Structure formats: structure tokens, C-alpha cells
Amino acid sequence: SPQQLLLLTEPPPAAAPVVVQAPVSSQVRCYHAGNMDVPDFTYYRRSAVKDPTAKSSETAQDRMAFSYVMAGGFGLGGAYGAKALVNQFISSWSASQDVLALAKIEIKLADIPEGKNMTFKWRGKPLFIRHRTAQEIEVENAVDPATLRDPQTDSERVQEAEWLVILGVCTHLGCVPIANAGEFGGYYCPCHGSHYDASGRIRKGPAPLNLEVPYYEFPEEGLLVVG
């Protein structure tokens, strides 16, 4: 019958879910009931704060002193660390050891015969060392500075009359002049025709200034240090 067919097509009712509850202890431990063990930190406390009946104002000075000492210690350590960090950062900007090694050059003057000019490399530039003769010294001292484009006496450009120390870089466009050449017997730049005398002073041509004289000294006899 239709009623029997309807009953046969209806799905069976779903089974009720089974809920499993974890066992709950009925024993409750409360601090106020006195049944909980509390660790004792008395050993780690300072003597000034062990008495619960004492007023905090009575021990304030001791606690403040301790706080100041700790703050000062941390501040001093932080300042020292910051100083070391800044020094390390600044030192990273300084020149390396190989660059510092080229900052100065020592030259044995006995290796340069009289009347000759020798070229050395210093800081990536040519360095001219000229052992001047007595005649060259006399000629350069006789030049009137008022007639020069870049007025300088010979004595202003040398520490010892027989030794001329200059950079071999033309002041016009940076070429390297030729020693013992030119109309004045000193240096000649073939690029644009600048003539320098035996004191490194510009005498003719487009160069505006004399050849540069670097810092140098004679720490002992027969030894020249440039830089």
C-alpha cells in the first residue's frame, strides 16, 4: 500500500551522539584555605625588606642607593660599549695599511749623483729629486722673482740648496715634464710647451703655477723623507 511504501523509503532515525566527559576532580586547592605550598624566597630578599611590619620609608635610602648603583653601572657599561662601537666605525674609514705604507717614502741621497734628476713614485704621482750643481744654484738664485709668473725665490722652494724636491706634474693639464730639458735647463712639458727652470718655476708656456713642492724633511744626513 502507499503507506507501507512511504515507511520503507524514510531513512532510519540518526543515533544520538555519545559525549565523553573527562573526569573532574572534586578537590580544589585554595591559597586562602592554607592547603597550597608557597615557595619561600626569603633567602633571595635583602635584609632591609624582610620585615613585613617595617615601613618602606625606613629603608627607602638603602633601596634608592642600590637602584642608583645599578643604574650607574648599566649607564657606564652602555657608554663604554657605545664608545667602542663608534671607534670601530670611525676606524673603518681610515686608510688601510698598504695605503699608509705609501704615505711616506725614504730616499737615500747618496744614490743620486750631482747634476742628475731621479724620478720616484709617491702616492701615485711622479716625484722628482734633483741633485743640483753649484752653477745651477747660482743661476737660480740670480733670478728676479718679480719677473716670474708665479713669484718665488729659490730659497723658498728648497731646504738645502743642492736638493730640489718637486712633484713631476705639470700645472697646466697634469702631464709629466721631461727633466734636464727646455730653454731654462730645468724641465720641459712637451704636451703644450711649458718650460720650468732648475728650481721648478714656470718660465715660459701656458702653465700658470710653479711645480708643487711636497712636504719633506732630512731626518739625518744622507736621508730624505717625503710625506
d(CA 126, CA 118): 10
What is the largest distance, in Å, between two alpha-carbon atoms of the chain? 148
Q: Is 192 a catalytic residue?
A: yes
Cα separations (Å) of 68 from 58, 59, 79? 17, 14, 16
φ/ψ (deg, to 5) at 219: -65, -30
197 beta partners: 185
Rounded Cα distance between 161 and 104, Å, is 22
**CA 118, 121, 122, 128: dihedral to nearest 10 degrees?**
20
Determine contact, residues 187/126, Cβ cutoff 8 Å. Answer: no
DSSP code of 52? T
Catalytic residue among 32, 131, 172, 192: 192
- Residue in the block written with cell 702631464: 175
Q: Which residues belong to the active site? A: 192
